[in-house]
Structure 1
Amino acid sequence: MSNKPLKRHKALQPLSREHHHGLLLSWKLREGFKKNIEVKRMKTYTDWFFKTHLIPHFEMEEQYIFPLLGNDNDLIKRALTEHRRLKRLFTNDKDVSKALGLIEEELEQHIRFEERVLFKEIQKIATETQLQHIEKIHHPDEKFIDNLDDEFWK
């Protein structure tokens, strides 16, 4: 039996590219902490990322991807719980430094879970028609545009 990785269906590839940008956010936060960057600067960037990229990404997954497995599925329950937790961390204005540290860790773990476990499972059960629908509504031709106003991670 081969352990060859499952090739990601092209309908899910744009979501995987978005996950890549989320992993980069975790890396940028790690770099910011290593360089003792002012927390306010990192928070400004994460607020922008959350509003511009993460909220629409979560909405896409929750409305169109997760229902393919059903909301009673344990993997979906975990993903939804993690989405709620991440939303709370991104909107936490009380202990910002701690929240950013947790975002750095938990966002990466969440993305790894979705890529390595959840999307593999979805891809196994989704019909070609369902995947084509996702491809049609997700606009894979839209490119990621980063906010380079303050590249604190460099």
Structure 2
Amino acid sequence: MKRHAALQQLSREHHIALKLARQARFASDSGNPTAIGEAAEKINALFAEALEPHFQVEETDLLPALAKAGGETLVKRTLDEHAELRALNQQLSAADGSKLSRFATLLNDHVRFEERELFELAQDLLYPEH
């Protein structure tokens, strides 16, 4: 999908998130407590260095502009999912396979939603010249 320059870096960062979701899925599906714990530790580290900064850019720059332009429903969903991902990340320290599974599913679905719906709407409303 061709992205407007303002969305290209965010879109590239989604690749990292999808890889992380996939790793979380493999670990949770394994049922192996060691693999689950290692995945949870990796997620905690990458969340702080990659996902949280990504969320902050979206929440500071993209989402307010999109809400003003008429995208309130998708903005609310995005913020709700960011909040749930943050909460799940905090709960992963217990190395719970079901929480890791929920994190994997939500992160994967969230990235797909942003790429297929949120960013498409942003391009239409904020960057119509794309």
TM bracket (short chain):
0.7 to 0.9
SS in 1 for 2:64: helix
Task: State whether structure 2 residue 26 is matched by structure 1 residue 27.
Answer: no
Task: State whether structure 2 residue 75 is matched by structure 1 residue 44.
Answer: no
Matches within 5 A, 1:1-154: 7-35=2-30, 36=32, 38=34, 39-70=36-67, 73-92=72-91, 93-94=93-94, 96-127=96-127
| In 2: Cα distance, 1:95 partner to 1:52 partner | 20
> Bigger radius of gyration, 1 or 2?
1
Q: Partner of 1:133 in structure 2?
A: none
Structure with a larger share of its residues in helix: 2
Q: What stretches of structure 1 of length at least 5 have no aligned partner?
A: 129-154
Relative distance call for 1:127 and 1:13 in structure 2 (3 A) is: closer
Corresponding residue pairs, total: 124
What is the TM-score normalised by the length of structure 1?
0.73
RMSD: 2.1
| In 2: Cα distance, 1:119 partner to 1:54 partner | 17
How many angstroms does 1:67 deviate by? 1.0
- Contact kept, 8 Å, 2:25 with 2:104, in 1: the verdict is yes
Any idea what the Cα deviations from partners look like across 1:5-45, whole Å, max 9, x if unmatched? Answer: 6x211221110111111000111112223443612211110
Relative distance call for 1:116 and 1:25 in structure 2 (3 A) is: same
